[in-house]
A and B are shown apart, each in its own frame.
Chain A
Amino acid sequence: MSLEEYKGVFTFAQQVDHKLEGVAFELIGKGKELAKDLGTEVTAVLIGSGIKDLADQLAEYGADHVIVVDDPKLENYRTEPYAQALAGVINEFKPEIVLVGATAIGRDLGPTVSARVKTGLTADCTQLDIGNFPLEPKEGVTQKPNQLLMTRPAFGGNTIATIACPDNRPQMATVRPGVMIKLDPVKGAKADIIEFKPDLTENNKYVEIVEVIKEAKKTADIMDAKILVSGGRGVGSPENFKILDDLAEAIGGTVSCSRAVVDAGWKPKDLQVGQTGKTVRPNVYFAIGISGAIQHTAGMEESDIIIAINKDESAPIFDVADYGIVGDLNKIVPALTEAIKAAVKE
């Protein structure tokens, strides 16, 4: 089969406990753009047990088609039956692009499936485009049009690389949650639904789930926040985060933090913004006492407005901030909170 016969953009619609993850919608949003450039359509692949009814949500967020693989073996995520399901879909429907969220599940499923269908996989992409490979014409090399160009950070966010997969199909990428933008849902939109039954024969690769221990989410998801008040080591102590809590409350925001704060044990890991934490793009991001190592900025530089407060005027955070204030956060932050409270009252 020639490479040109592979058609369509497929997105993995990750659900856990019958709830679709935000990245499932983000991938459809990006997939629509790529599909438009390629003159093709977006198919969401929904895998689980008793999950058919979720297909309508995927349609509302833009999926043209939904392939449903519904089987009791797929109740809880396990690498093998999920890999059988997704690889089965790829082998049957031959998509040219497959996008998977770079979640704890996607970063496990992606490598196994890509090896099984003998293609390349680019991890943790932050940008996807359609273009030529090589980018510029090169003597002795046939330049191929309509390739998926996958851009990702490497070396802890110190470098970025753009990668193509010109000679294998599908072109596969895992995509960082929070980076792509979901479309506004269209209520009542319907997709063409295809129920597919891949071979899910149990084999030596089926692991036994002895126990599932669910952990209640203690904190608001910083990826959903419109305003983030983020603190770094410069805040000084876990107690002093109180002034950030107060600011967040006054402005209707959520507190997040840098890696240094998590490493010091001041805040839990799920509040961490950055390369090894979460990627966020709120409307307003306050970076307070954060020096702004690339590790951190890689996770927040797409925020609409970045306001940085730091006493060190050479701190790299000022290189990405829209508004940088050199000064003492202990004086500025409480006064700002009061000013906002006063303004809100009016």
Chain B
Amino acid sequence: MKIVVCIKQVPDTKNGVVFNPDGTLNRGAMDKVMNPDDKAGLEVALQIKEKTGAEITVVSMGIPDADTVIREAFAMGADKGVLITDRVLGGADTWATSSTIAAGIRNLDYDLIITGRQAIDGDTAQVGPQIAEHLGIPVISYAANVEVEGDYVKVDRQYDDRMHKLKVKMPCLVTALSETTTPRYMTPGGIFDAYDEKEVTVWGRADLKDLDDANIGLAGSPTKIAKASDKVRKGAGEKVNLDPTASVSYIMDKLTEKHVI
């Protein structure tokens, strides 16, 4: 069995974000990590590998520096790694990104593709389902308890007030959630091998077949950014620092004034 796991290198927003003067994000000034949902997806793949002996190939699209998340995946137990990187692919929206990654995956053998539900930079949750659409395979998003049974994958799909237990024939794509899967740590031996023993395969535009130039990069992205900015907050109202009794009177006055009570 062959599993492809898509992983993305993202700025770590845990310690806040850094802005350029023009209001766009200063990615260079922020730490970079493997996207949490993608890491959960890799863990799901590793658990399947432990049961079935599957081979895991991680695929990432990004700048050359994204090599580090592929090495991290090696250190966790991934077998092969592909980095899709080319200047002409930059600035891609979800349509262009999914078109590009799908073209890369067409170069590989796969039974199961796992992506994270969404990346913490864009939060769109679009690229996984769109890769499936480009490849013409079924998708189950927000997948928990992914199990392989023969040629089928069984998945729990959570909705607002219900859960669907689903079964689908491979090849298929599922998107994984960090809430339901805790990824393992890298092993010391794994980290050593990741840098000394393993090679990251690097593909540029020329390695991607069946991919129209009209569907890649900034120019091939249907959505365009009109404006990006630091979030403008509502603006503070009044702030008082009173003893508890006066505080209560203050709130009561406001509630009465606004006809709440």
Residues on A close to B: CB < 8 A? Answer: 16, 76-77, 79-80, 103-105, 107-108, 110-112, 114-116, 118-124, 133-135, 149, 153-168, 204-217, 227, 251, 283-284, 294, 297-298, 301, 305-307, 309, 313, 318-328, 331-332, 335-336, 339-340, 343-344
Contact = CB atoms under 8 A, between A and B. Distances in A.
B139 to A, nearest CB: 6
B244 A166 contact: no
Q: Tell me the dominant secondary structure on chain B's binding face.
A: mixed
Interface of B: 11, 13, 16-17, 19, 23, 25, 93-95, 98, 120-130, 132-134, 136-142, 154, 158-169, 221-245, 247-252, 254-256, 258, 260-261
B133 A167 contact: no
A335 B248 CA distance: 7
Given A115-B98, A121-B126, A156 B165 contact: no
A321 B239 contact: yes
A327 B247 contact: yes
Given A111-B126, A112-B129, A155-B121, A327 B94 contact: no
Contacts of B16: 158
A227 to B, nearest CB: 7
Nearest to A302: B234
Q: Which of A155, A214, A307 has the most CB of B within 10 A?
A: A155
Contacts of B133: 111-112, 115-116
A136 B245 CA distance: 53
28 contacts: A79-B140, A104-B158, A111-B128, A120-B93, A121-B223, A123-B126, A134-B226, A159-B25, A161-B225, A163-B224, A163-B226, A165-B222, A214-B162, A305-B254, A305-B260, A319-B234, A320-B236, A322-B237, A323-B240, A323-B250, A323-B254, A325-B240, A325-B247, A325-B251, A332-B251, A339-B249, A340-B255, A344-B261
Contacts of B239: 313, 318, 321, 324-326
A313 B238 CA distance: 12
Contact of A107 (B95, B125, B161, B250): B125
Contact of A324 (B11, B154, B236): B236
B45 to A, nearest CB: 20
A153 B17 CA distance: 13
A26 to B, nearest CB: 15
B233 A319 contact: yes
Contact of B141 (A108, A116, A166): A108
A-B pairs, top 10 by smallest CB distance, nearest first, are A120-B222, A120-B223, A322-B237, A324-B239, A115-B133, A111-B126, A331-B244, A111-B129, A123-B124, A168-B222
Contacts, number: 258
Contact of A157 (B222, B231, B236, B241): B231
Contacts of B158: 104
A156 B13 contact: yes
Contact of B252 (A77, A327, A339): A339
Contact of A120 (B159, B221, B234, B250): B221
A341 to B, nearest CB: 10
Contacts of A339: 248-249, 252
Contacts of A112: 129-130, 132-133, 139
Nearest to B99: A115
A320 B231 CA distance: 12
Contacts of B221: 120
Contacts of A114: 95, 126, 130
B95 A120 contact: yes
Contacts of B226: 133-135, 149, 162-164
Given A110-B126, A213-B162, A335 B238 contact: no
A134 B225 CA distance: 9
Given A107-B125, A121-B126, A343-B261, A297 B233 contact: yes
Contacts of A207: 138, 140, 166-168
A153 B231 contact: yes
A108 B142 contact: yes
B231 A159 contact: yes
Contact of A77 (B159, B168, B235, B250): B159
A251 B129 contact: no
Nearest to B141: A108
A155 B19 CA distance: 12
Given A207-B167, A324-B238, A123 B129 contact: no
